[in-house]
Amino acid sequence: MRKTKQIFIMILVLGFILFPILILAEQRHGMNLTEVGEKASKVIAEQKININTATVEQFQNLPGIGSSIAQEIINYRHEHGPFQKVEDIMQVKGIGEKKFEKIKDLITVGEAK
């Protein structure tokens, strides 16, 4: 219970800090909150790991992915070709639904061609 209260207070404090920053961005740069949110989403998307090009080291930055599973992903990619969608990574030995849920928002297959 105490930990939950601490987390709630931290979120509240962050809200009080971030809200004025967003308002200032709107006033100074003429951006509305929707534009700010879209730009933030784009930055986050650019930081995702592309599972079709990532190295062992890059995969190891994902939660629950060590060197052996990282190598399994690369081996699978070499044998079967590029992943078409992020869910396809669950075909790799060692990546089940639980692990996928932890990494799905951190990975991408890149832009469709």
The domain segmentation of the chain, as residue ranges, is 2-46, 49-108
* Domain at 49-108, CATH class: mainly alpha
Contacts for 82-85: CB closer than 8 Å, 24+ residues apart: 82/52, 82/109, 83/51, 83/52, 83/109, 84/109, 85/109
Residue 107 pairs in a beta bridge with 49
Q: List pLDDT tens digits, range 59-88.
A: 999 999 999 999 999 999 999 999 999 999
- Residues in the chain, how many? 113
DSSP string covering 17-46, please?
HHHHHHHHHHHHH---HHHHHHHHHHHHHH
pTM above 0.75? no
Residue type for 82, please? Answer: P
Top pLDDT among 87 and 28 is at 87
